[in-house]
């Protein structure tokens, strides 16, 4: 039984993202042009225009040591800390908690000259997808942020903003190098494989060259800043498996 009005939509969007989980870099490179590479981070992008709009889908694969997928997803989902790590945000407002793993947020993003200011109104959902006991599949933690118009009329929007439609997913897998026999697992034994996918329709008029330059610059910055934030927040805390 749907526990809240967005329950079915969230299930189908998550299922779709999980179908594309675990694209290894080789397969990625066959169909996705690599636009940025630094250390373990690879950012891929397709150039797609839909009725004159840039809707370049973006995928980033990154491996971060010392944290778990649960920790990465916990901080990505938690609206209370978003202003601490999301550098392109002017404001964020949690409109409604649909359940303990689903909520609706209104955000205003910093203006990128010469385009108009953008805002986003979206649901967020966090989910643990344990591997089936056949242990063929991996164990994932997922967060999805997806535009919505659910109860939009209750939201006091910032005037003159252009609404952005987007569908973002963060899919994480924790890799544990077993410690020597009898030793506790420490953060030195942890690595987290992150897949970030973003489909952003910037809405309204925006020059293709400017948008593509912004995305090329902002996404790697955002992933580095966010993952470093989680490393800093968790380093002295017990591990969240
Ligand atoms: C990180 C990044 C990449 C590309 C562009 C920019 C940016 N600069 N100035 C305005 C924006 C902007 C415009 C519209 C957007 F939807 C998002 C946007 C970005 C990330 C996410 S999220 O879901 O990954 C994290 C939640 O904020 C959602 C929307 C960001 N920021």
pLDDT, one tens digit for every residue, the chain (241 residues):
678 999 999 999 999 999 988 777 788 888 899 999 999 999 999 988 888 788 889 999 999 999 999 999 999 999 999 999 999 999 999 999 999 999 999 999 999 888 899 999 999 999 999 988 876 778 999 999 999 999 999 999 999 999 999 999 999 999 999 999 999 999 999 999 999 999 998 877 778 888 888 888 999 999 999 999 999 999 999 999 9
Count CA within 13 A, CB hemisphere, residue 68.
Answer: 17
17: DSSP letter = H
pTM (2 d.p.) = 0.95
Given a contact cutoff of 8 angstroms between Cβ atoms, the answer to whether 116 and 161 are in contact is yes
Distance set, CA 88 to CA 92, 107, 168, 204, 221 (Å): 11, 10, 16, 19, 10
Burial (0-12, 13-18, 19+ Cβ within 10 Å), 30: exposed
Q: Can you point out the beta strands (E) in 132-219? A: 140-147, 162-163, 165-176, 190-201
Shortest CA distance to 25 belongs to which of 16, 34, 17? 34
- State how far the Cα of 148 lies from the Cα of 109, in Å rounded to an integer: 17
Q: What is the ipTM of this complex?
A: 0.94
How many Å apart are CA 222 and CA 155, to the nearest integer? 27
Strand pairing class (53-54; 49-50):
antiparallel
**What's the distance, CA 73 to chain centroid?**
8
Check if 164 has its Cβ closer than 6 Å to any atom of ligand 1.
Answer: yes
Residue 110: CB within 6 Å of ligand 1?
Answer: yes
Among candidate residues 8, 35, 44, 24, the one with its CA nearest the CA of residue 173 = 24
Rounded distance from Cα 2 to ligand 1 centre (Å): 30
DSSP state for residue 28 in the 8-state scheme: H
- Whole-number Å distance between alpha carbons of 219 and 198: 10
Nearest CA to ligand 1 atom 8: 88
Whether 166 is in the pocket of ligand 1, judged by its Cβ within 6 Å, is yes
């Amino acid at each position: 039984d749907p526990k809240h009005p967005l329950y079915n939509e969230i299930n189908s969007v998550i299922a779709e993202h999980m179908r594309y989980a675990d694209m290894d870099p080789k397969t990625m490179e066959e169909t996705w042009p690599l636009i940025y590479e630094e250390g373990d981070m690879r950012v891929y992008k397709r150039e797609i225009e839909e009725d004159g709009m840039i809707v370049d889908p973006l995928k980033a694969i990154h491996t971060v040591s010392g944290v778990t997928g649960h920790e990465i997803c916990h901080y990505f989902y938690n609206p209370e800390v978003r202003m601490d790590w999301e550098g392109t945000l002017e404001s964020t407002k949690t409109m409604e908690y649909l359940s303990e793993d689903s909520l609706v947020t209104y955000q205003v993003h910093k203006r990128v000259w010469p385009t108009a200011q953008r805002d986003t109104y979206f649901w967020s959902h966090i989910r643990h997808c344990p591997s089936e006991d056949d242990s063929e599949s991996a164990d994932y933690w997922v967060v999805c942020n997806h535009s919505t118009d659910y109860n939009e009329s209750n939201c006091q929007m910032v005037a003159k903003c252009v609404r952005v439609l987007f569908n973002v997913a963060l899919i994480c897998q924790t890799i544990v190098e077993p410690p020597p026999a009898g030793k506790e697992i420490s953060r030195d034994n942890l690595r987290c494989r992150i897949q970030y996918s973003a489909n952003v329709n910037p809405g309204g008029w925006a020059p293709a060259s400017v948008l593509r330059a912004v995305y090329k610059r902002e996404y790697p910055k955002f992933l580095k800043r966010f993952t470093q934030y989680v490393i800093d927040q968790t380093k002295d805390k017990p591990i969240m498996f």
